[in-house]
Amino acid sequence: MISSPSSVEDISPAPFWASIVATFCGIGRLKPGPGTWGSLATVVLWGLASSRIPIASRTWVTVLAAAAATAVGIPAATRVARAWGKKDPQFVVIDEVAGQLVTLIAVPLAWKSFLAGFILFRVFDILKPFPIRRLERLPEGIGIVVDDLGAGLYALAVMHLLLHFGLLIK
């Protein structure tokens, strides 16, 4: 658990790179619901970017993007959480970026798929069904990011069930 600083002087600012990454270039500072803004920005940016990626490569590029967000997000979230003396600051949204990207793995480029992926991820991220809530107990940036990866996996599974059974038109 991260202890709270006793005064403002005890707070050391997070490195600039960590703040930029953790807030997804400042998106995490938007209110209300910074996590929702982070997820929405991810869906919009991924929709624009993935349309330029060849179909045969899109799934692997999505996996790599989620892995990159996770790999850089964990140390960034750790440094920002330490600097602010909070276990999981709301303005840290790189976890939503990573989890939302997991949700979009092998999903067709269609507004219905992106909307469903956005809604599913937010629902699982907010409700945190078993065992996702337990993942929050992991230390520092790992706990901040990994629970959202779990929510992303749940949303990914439901998304692909919807696609498989034709409940979500490709």
- 117 is a domain residue: yes
- 6 is a domain residue: no
What is the DSSP secondary structure assignment for residue 26, as one 8-state letter?
Answer: T
Tokens in use for 49? 């970017």
* Prediction pTM value: 0.90
- 2 is a domain residue: no
- 1 is a domain residue: no
Determine the pLDDT at residue 170: 59
Residue burial 92-106, b: 16+ Cβ < 10 Å; e: rest: bbbbbbbbbbbbbbe
Count of structural domains within the chain = 1
CA distances from 36 to 43, 134, 154 (A): 11, 21, 17
- 140 is a domain residue: yes
Tokens in use for 57? 């490569």
- 4 is a domain residue: no
> For the residues of 70-103, what is the DSSP string, one character each?
HHHHHHHHHHHHHHHT-SS-TT--HHHHHHHHHH
- 66 is a domain residue: yes
pLDDT in tens, 153-168: 999 999 999 999 988 8
- 9 is a domain residue: no
Q: Cα–Cα distance between 78 and 47 in angstroms, integer? A: 28
Q: Which range of residues forms the domain containing residue 104?
A: 15-164
Confidence category of residue 39, pLDDT binned at 50, 70, 90: very high
pLDDT in tens, 70-124: 999 999 999 999 988 888 889 999 999 999 999 999 999 999 999 999 999 999 9
